[in-house]
Structure formats: C-alpha cells, structure tokens
A and B are shown apart, each in its own frame.
Chain A
C-alpha cells in the first residue's frame, strides 16, 4: 500500500477533500501551537509544516467532518491494511477482524458528533495515518490482552512481570548473605546507569529489561542487527569502565576494587540483574515528558 507523502503545498490536499483553505490553515495553526514552542522561528515552522502528512491529515479531518467520500477512501484504503496488521498481532483471523473493525467502527461511529469527540481529530499528521492507526491498533490489542490477563491471572498464579523477579530470589540464606556483600557494586552500577544517554538507556532497556532480541531491536530502531550488536558491546564496555570509576569514587583501592570485580564474576548474576534492571526502570526518568 502506498503511503501518502507530505504535500509540497498546504492548500491542495485540503481542496481535494473539499475543505476550505481558511479552515485548513486554522487546523495547521492549532497543530503548530500544540507541537512547537512559541519561540520557534519562521524557518523552523515552515520546515515543520513541510514534514506534515497533509494528505493524511486532511483525509482524517474530512472523515471527522463526516464527508462520505473521505470515509469511503479511508475504509477502502485502511480496512484491509488494519485487518492484516491485526492478524499479525492476534494470529487468529476472527480476533483480527474484530480488533480491526472495532477500531474503524470507533472512528466511524463517532462521525457526526461534536468536534471534540471524534478520535480522528487527534491525528496531527506528524507521522503517516497508517502508522497512527497501527499505533491505535496496537494499543487496543494491548488493552485487550491486559483484560484477558487479568481474567486468567488467578488461575495461572503468575503475573507477566514475575518472570524477572522470580530469578532474583536467592536460593538460600548463605547466598543472600553473599549477595549483600555486593551492595557497593550494585550501587556503583546504579550510579553508572544514571549517567547513561537516553538512546543508550533505551537500547539497554530494550535488551536487558524487556528481553528483546538483537533482531527485534534492530527492527524497531531501523538499523542492522550487527549494528545493534556492536553498539551494545561498546556501551557495555563503557558501562564497565564507569562502574570501575564509581568503585574508585567509593574509596576502594585498586586491589580491593579488582577483588570485588573478580568475585562478582563468580556471583549468581541474577541478583545483579535486579539492581541493573530496577535502576534502568527508575533512574533518570525524563523530566519534561512530552505530549503536551
């Protein structure tokens, strides 16, 4: 399926769907205000607009306004695509059809309502309409999956988040005492993780916390798997150096530091994983979250 490209002019896509140019300009100004700070230069504003998917944006707005021709375009273009995408998630044709049609039905059923009600109004054209719908579809699928998990969790006795925690229980008291000796090391690891760059944190989180494979991460970040492998290796080497530095900051002499590191190599690594994973989850959360 061909993905609509951002249009070079702003008025033509609006005219294609019978939307007045003045109305389209008001929408675009609202989107500018939503995603650009007031101090943005005129040049950056032009660049921002040039990257918008105007065809998709006007199609969505026309659908939200209840234009039948736009709805027909949306339905014929995206219904097969969303059903195929849903099939990849559910692996069941019946569930996939239900998932995709529910999403389109939600969008369709709200047409004719007030302007604030339709979900299509929240599409801003930053990415393609296809990607936006896929994101909504994925969110619906995850919500559905969560509801299902809540229903079966009492029987299963295990939550999905328990997989990592289950590894972290020391098998006996002696092991627990041994693990306590490595708290300085865990503190050094946590301190090293705080200083990670956001992209490195994302890479490590995808790999170590979420358990994605190199291939999956490569697909998500759109780079080759071997590139991810190299970056991971390099970042872990940096992390190790930083841990050594942190241990020195704690006042450990080189001999004691090497002894800690040497003993850590023989320690059950699962307990160290705990500290690393929890540190990755909690430390250095972005201060100004976006979306506003």
Chain B
C-alpha cells in the first residue's frame, strides 16, 4: 500500500512541470511508483497541466544526457546501414500492449542479419505497384453511438508500402483529449475523441502487413509491418472507440461497447454479433479484449465489469 506521507500539491505540481530538484523529483518518482492513489492524481492533474507546459525537461531527464551520445552514434550508424540495405521494419516498433507483462520464454533465437542489397533493388521496390486492398465491413450495430457513426469499415491491405507513425500524426490536442477516455483508472468521462486500440495477441504473424482504419472523416494509417505477438500496437483514431484483437491467425474480435461485440473466424470477412449477459441493461465502453487462445478470453469494460469465456465465445460468465 502507499507510504505514510503523500506528496503535497506543491511537490506534485512542481514534479509535473519538471521544476523539482533532482533529489526531490526522485523522491516523488519513488512515491508514485508505489502509490496508486498519487499516480491517479498525478495522471489526472498532468492531463490539465500539459496544456500549459511545453514538452521538456525533468522526468527521466537524467537518462537523456547519458544516452544522447549513444543515440547520435546509433543514428549515424543506422543511416549508413540503411543506405546499403533494404528496409524491413519501421523505426517505430511498438511494444506489446496486451499487457502480458512477463511472457517468459526461453532465450530468443538469434536471427542472422539481412544480407546487403545494392541500391538498385530499393528503386525497384519503390516502383512496385501496391497490392489490392481488401475491405472488411463491420455489420452496422443496432444502436450506434455517435463515435461509431464514423466507423464504416476497416480496411486491411496486404501492401507493404509506406508506414504511418500514428502517434506522430496524432496531434497534441487529440492525444491529450484521448488520454481521458482511454484511461481506465481515471475518473474522466469519455471525451469526443476516444482512443481506439488495435492489437494482436496471437502467436503467428497475421496475414496482412498493414491495416488502415477509415473513419469516413479522417483516414488514419496503422503501421503493422511484420506483425507478431511482440509487435502489438495501440491505435488512437479520432472518432473511434474500437478494440480489435486476434485470438489466433483467423479469429478476430471487435467491440466498442459491451452490447456491440463482434467476432469473425475468417480473418474478418464475415462478422457476427456476440451477446454478453447483462450488457444490454448497462452498456459501457469496452476497455480491453484479451484472448489467450481460441477458446479462453476475457472482455472488460471501463466500469470494471468482466466477462469470461472458455468456449470461444459460445457462453460468457460475468464476474
């Protein structure tokens, strides 16, 4: 549980702005690492303080000078390396977000570095035409939320051309606005811009290398080159509240609210609605969908309600 003394508003606000001395900041950081109540307050206040504070200085600031030289070296080396080699994965490699904090596995298999290719191959790659786009339409839910009105379709393309760094495209204002709605532990009502999460928890790579979610208003790209279990990525899209998770190579689950859950067993070609017991009486935004295998899965909403299935969604138990 929390330590005896919590940081007062003076210290917490100064920590949020990066105005504390290194020693004081370390104390607040240590406290926040152990106290969930103060982390909640810091996250809530940080949402407000960020409006007035430019991205800067202190938090993790001690790491910066240490890694500045190393980062510059890596950049130079990476630039030199990329001139002679075909790019395989994007620089922005998102980490797993389905929260398997320690999926402990034996030592990873070392993979040999790709062989260098001459520059002429890169030119040929760029000029290669993109593969056709496969459009997967979600069935219209009976009672559309305003946020779902702008979700006509999900496009999965197999083209490997282009990679969109979603967070970079996502403006600061939208990102801040998305904060509140996406935070399960924050007592913040869903904002107009809601974070969506598109994650993949299967063991095998998906059969598409890039996914695009088209809101009908604002198409955002999702980089998904070489998707694997370690490469699941959150996706934040203006106007969408949706979670898509693959239980295995062919099974997908998508949900916005607990009364609007859909599943597909054929890579998203066909979708069928799933009824969660008791969800229609008090529908809430879905916080996460997690399937450990094709049969065992959990759906949680933002109020903390949880539904478990052990038979691939045929029956659900509410906890």
Complex contact B296–A268 (CB within 8 A): yes
- Tell me the dominant secondary structure on chain A's binding face: helix
B153 within 8 Å of A by Cβ?
no
A166 within 8 Å of B by Cβ?
yes
Q: Given B33, B44, B310, which contacts A141 in the complex, CB threshold below 8 Å?
A: B44
B1 within 8 Å of A by Cβ?
yes
Q: In the assembly, what is the distance between CA of A169 and CA of B310, in Å?
A: 13
Q: In the assembly, what is the distance between CA of A162 and CA of B185, in Å?
A: 11
| B282 CB contacts on chain A under 8 angstroms | 156
Q: Looking at the assembled complex, report how far the CB atom of B56 sits from the nearest CB atom of chain A, in whole angstroms.
A: 6
Beyond A122-B9, A127-B17, A286-B31, is A223–B102 a contact (Cβ under 8 Å)?
Answer: no
Complex contact B12–A135 (CB within 8 A): yes
Q: Looking at the assembled complex, report how far the CB atom of A224 sits from the nearest CB atom of chain B, in whole angstroms.
A: 8
Q: In the assembly, what is the distance between CA of A1 and CA of B20, in Å?
A: 22
Complex contact A163–B304 (CB within 8 A): yes
B228 within 8 Å of A by Cβ?
no
Number of A-B contacts (CB under 8 A): 309
Complex contact A131–B34 (CB within 8 A): no
Q: In the assembly, what is the distance between CA of A85 and CA of B189, in Å?
A: 13
Q: In the assembly, what is the distance between CA of A199 and CA of B3, in Å?
A: 16
| B303 CB contacts on chain A under 8 angstroms | 156, 158, 160
Give the contact stretch, choosing among B35-43, B119-127, B237-245, B263-271.
Answer: B35-43
Q: Looking at the assembled complex, report how far the CB atom of A122 sits from the nearest CB atom of chain B, in whole angstroms.
A: 7
Q: What total of chain B residues lie within 8 Å of the partner, measured CB to CB?
A: 103
Complex contact A142–B47 (CB within 8 A): no
| A3 CB contacts on chain B under 8 angstroms | 52-53
A22 within 8 Å of B by Cβ?
no
Beyond A221-B59, A265-B104, A291-B5, is A214–B97 a contact (Cβ under 8 Å)?
Answer: yes
Complex contact A126–B10 (CB within 8 A): yes
Q: In the assembly, what is the distance between CA of A272 and CA of B4, in Å?
A: 28
Give the contact stretch, choosing among A8-16, A105-113, A233-241.
Answer: A233-241
Complex contact B13–A139 (CB within 8 A): no
Q: Looking at the assembled complex, report how far the CB atom of B174 sits from the nearest CB atom of chain A, in whole angstroms.
A: 10
Complex contact A273–B101 (CB within 8 A): yes
B167 within 8 Å of A by Cβ?
yes
A43 within 8 Å of B by Cβ?
no
B103 within 8 Å of A by Cβ?
yes
Interface residues of A in 239-292 (CB under 8 A from B): 239-240, 243, 258, 261-262, 264-265, 268-270, 272-273, 276, 280-282, 284-292
Complex contact B104–A131 (CB within 8 A): no
B164 within 8 Å of A by Cβ?
no
Complex contact B52–A291 (CB within 8 A): no
| A–B complex contacts, Cβ < 8 Å, 23 sampled | A48-B21, A89-B48, A127-B17, A128-B52, A135-B49, A138-B44, A142-B44, A162-B304, A166-B306, A171-B308, A199-B63, A205-B32, A208-B99, A208-B101, A210-B40, A215-B234, A219-B175, A265-B104, A276-B102, A282-B1, A287-B3, A289-B27, A289-B31
Interface on A for B, CB 8 Å cutoff? 1, 3, 35, 48, 51, 84-85, 88-92, 122-124, 126-128, 130-132, 134-139, 141-142, 145-146, 149, 156, 158-163, 166-167, 169, 171, 185, 189, 196, 198-199, 201-202, 204-216, 218-226, 229, 231-233, 236, 239-240, 243, 258, 261-262, 264-265, 268-270, 272-273, 276, 280-282, 284-292
